[in-house]
Amino acid sequence: MSLSIGIHDLSFATGEYVLEHTTLAAHNGTDIGKYHVGIGQESMSVPAADEDIVTMAASAAAPIIARHGGDRIRTVVFATESSIDQSKAAGVYVHSLLGLPSACRVVELKQACYGATAALQFAIGLVRRDPAQQVLVIASDVSKYELDSPGESTQGAAAVAMLVGVDPALVRIEDPSGLFTADVMDFWRPNYRAAALVDGQESINAYLQAAEGTWKDYTEQGGRSLEEFAAFCYHQPFTKMATKAHRHLLNYCGKDTDNDAVAAAIGLTTAYNRVIGNSYTASVYLGLAALLDQAEDLTGRSIAFLSYGSGSVAEFFAGTLVAGYRDHLRTEQNHTAIARRTPVSYAEYRELHEYSLPTEGGDHATPAQTTGPFRLAGISGHKRIYETR
């Protein structure tokens, strides 16, 4: 009999601050309907000056280590597209902050927003080879576009940590996967830039083509039929994208594309992304957290995942909710992570957006802002210094 492998625990963290879209709209004169309805976003998380992908990742993973211990974790896979170093894996800092055993491999993965799904699939392969081990998969990103650009309203920040192992308490991940890769320039960030470059309409089209391509491969591989899924967790660069993607898929399959059919499939998955904004690699798994926290009992039901990363690579796969999964959710913690953020004015947001660490050697202390458990204290001789608060 094949092993049951999947997500045993899931925890997320986000930034210290929040910028309401009403504040952004008041600054740039945009009709708020474009944000609230047109792209489906209400607010965006903004990291403090002393927060980054490492502090958010450690904050997301710490409750998992507190609940399960770290002794069985032999691999940490850190997926990000807002990497802080060209050589050292960000997960090594997290491994240290969490006090994980030294008998552990730590690696960073990149392919835009798709990276965490690659990490999850690689984790499943490792667990299949050695069922005694658990793998800590972390997705952590800060989504940053130029000020006053079209992408600005879709910014956000969050980290999701997932413990992957046998007999998972939450979701059993199934075979097959539907895969799709196409060489497109829809969204990219050259090494010398802090903010991403994007061709907005091209990126939406590329996403929809990828969704179609993964579904086609998924069905050819013998996957489930559309009707079998209780819900669909899409990558959500902005929540309206999930609506567009699901409508596209229904249309491709010759199904009814009315608003009710789309809302029933994706409605509950958008709640966290709508107020956090784009968290790139973490986004699709924030969709899962929102679904599980709000849905009625889905035990035994299958849910679909569509993970898209610009450039582009995408994967469609299924997971089934295991008996008792509701006892292991972190609903209250998740609500607190969102509610604890402090609102910022437009001027405060702009200052944070423009803040960057110095690039010449020397010592620099970051402003003490975060109230989270970990902070980036500064940089000294080009070395990032992290501390536990």
Where on the chain is the footprint of ligand CAA (CB under 6 A)?
31, 33-34, 37-39, 113, 150-151, 153-154, 186-187, 198, 200, 203-204, 207, 235, 237-238, 241, 278, 280, 308, 310
How near is the Cβ of 290 to ligand CAA at its closest, in Å? Answer: 17
By C-beta, is 115 or 151 nearer to ligand CAA? 151
The smaller minimum CB distance to ligand CAA, of residues 165 and 309, is found at 309
What residue number has its CB nearest to ligand CAA?
A: 38
Shortest spacing between CB 158 and ligand CAA, in angstroms: 12
Closest approach of ligand CAA to the CB of residue 216, in Å: 19
Q: Please, are residues 176 and 221 in contact by the beta-carbon 8 Å criterion?
A: yes
Nearer to ligand CAA, 113 or 164 (CB): 113
Q: Shortest distance, CB of residue 334 to ligand CAA, whole angstroms?
A: 21
Nearer to ligand CAA, 91 or 277 (CB): 277
Closest separation between CB of residue 335 and ligand CAA, Å?
24
Closer Cβ to ligand CAA, 235 or 384, answer by number: 235
Active site residues: 81, 113, 235
